[in-house]
Structure 1
Amino acid sequence: MRDNETSPIVVGFDGSEAAVAALHWAVDQARLLGCPIDVISVWHMEYTVMMEPSSAATRLDPRIVEDGHRTVLEAATADIDGVDLRGVLIEGDVKRLLVETSGDARLLVVGNRGHGPLAELLLGSVSSYCVHHATCPVVVVKAARQMAPRAERLPMAPLTPGPLL
């Protein structure tokens, strides 16, 4: 385990409004504490359930899904300064990977809701899983009620749920 003063704040990021709020909270906290931030974006190809309305060929191409998540992550972190920030894009199960990557973290910060109630029903609550399984303190940040019009927000990464079992 790392020294807590040099341990990063780990932020789970999926591009949702709650994830943006979590990222902003974590940046403010990292500036106060003088610690780095690891912004983790997890993507996964699930070929049996696709929920993003687009052509089937696009939805089944892992490179396009990964690039979509990379674009969202880079857009969200591009203008952040005054803190040592590292964006990390990995493939796998979001719940398990957030808990694993936060093993030596000072904090794990997640939004209270990702892509919506249907996805939460299918995937389960990532924030709830993290609260119950992470070995570090977990902060769950709720999205602000008043958000900018959709055109002004960050692009959303394609939603590809993980294994349903």
Structure 2
Amino acid sequence: MTDSDFAPVQGGPPVVVGVDGSATSAAALRWAVAEAAATGRVVRAVAAWTYVPAVDPGGVVAPIDEVAAMHGRALDDFVRETVGERPGAPVRADLVEGDPADALVKASAEASLLVLGSHGRGRLLSALLGSVSAQCLRRAACPVVIISPEVAGEKHEHGTGLRAAAETPGPLL
């Protein structure tokens, strides 16, 4: 065997990474970018959200397109702050409305690899991986890489979630 027998395959399906604004999702994004750079692939950073009408003090409900735009800006900011302006591999930020596990499993159908950060919440397997990670491990159509809180330097502290603004409901993932 020669060194070329071990050369990475260039191009191909993207490396998909689930992001939610936590330290583990930032570590997962950085890992995915390094992997994509080494294999000539692109990164697709996927954040999922669900529309919950936010009512301001005046009783006005925020329109879904405004809430989606806030989440989109927050996702773009998170990606830029995590990997910088020149990340080493192209990164496409995708905001998906719906359940995080479903969105990531669907994205895995066209991915070379699915990368997730684990928060270590929940019961049994979910206690080690997180409910989204556990569902993706069972249902993904491609290999899955899990970045632990310890690897991310999170030490079991939970992130605040990816939020577009203080009044925006809940984390994206």
CA-to-aligned-CA distance 1:114-139 (integer Å, 9 cap, x gap): 9x76xx89xx7101100010010011
Structure 1 stretches of at least 4 aligned residues deviating more than 2 Å after TM superposition: 55-58, 60-69, 143-147, 153-156
Counterpart among 74, 81, 88 of residue 82 in structure 1: 88
CA RMSD across the alignment: 3.4
CA distance in 2, matches of 1:68, 1:21: 23
Give me the TM-score of the superposition, normalised by structure 1. 0.71
Q: Alignment identity in percent?
A: 32
| Corresponding residue of 1:36 | 42
1:57 has 2:63 as partner:
no
CA distance in 2, matches of 1:35, 1:23: 14
Give me the TM-score of the superposition, normalised by structure 2. 0.68
CA contact 1:16–1:156 (8 Å) conserved in 2: yes
Closer, same or farther in 2 for the Cα pair 1:39/1:109, shift >3 Å? same
Alignment of 1:11-160 (within 5 A): 11-46=17-52, 56-57=55-56, 61=62, 62-78=64-80, 79=84, 80-113=86-119, 125-143=131-149, 144-145=152-153, 156-157=162-163, 158-159=169-170
| Corresponding residue of 2:13 | 7
Q: Which has the larger radius of gyration?
A: 2
Q: Which amino acid aligns with 2:73?
A: T
| Corresponding residue of 2:3 | none
CA contact 1:76–1:154 (8 Å) conserved in 2: no
CA contact 1:98–1:130 (8 Å) conserved in 2: yes
Gaps of 5+ in 1: 48-54, 148-152
The structural deviation recorded for 1:68 is 3.5
CA distance in 1, matches of 2:10, 2:136: 19
Closer, same or farther in 2 for the Cα pair 1:70/1:161, shift >3 Å? closer
Comparing 136-145 and 75-84, the one that deviates more: 75-84
Closer, same or farther in 2 for the Cα pair 1:135/1:146, shift >3 Å? closer
Count of aligned pairs between the two proteins:
143
CA-to-aligned-CA distance 1:3-38 (integer Å, 9 cap, x gap): 994110001111111111110110111111111111
Comparing 134-143 and 71-80, the one that deviates more: 71-80
CA-to-aligned-CA distance 1:25-63 (integer Å, 9 cap, x gap): 10111111111111111111246xxxxxxx7438x6334
CA contact 1:72–1:154 (8 Å) conserved in 2: no
CA contact 1:99–1:135 (8 Å) conserved in 2: yes
CA distance in 1, matches of 2:22, 2:66: 19
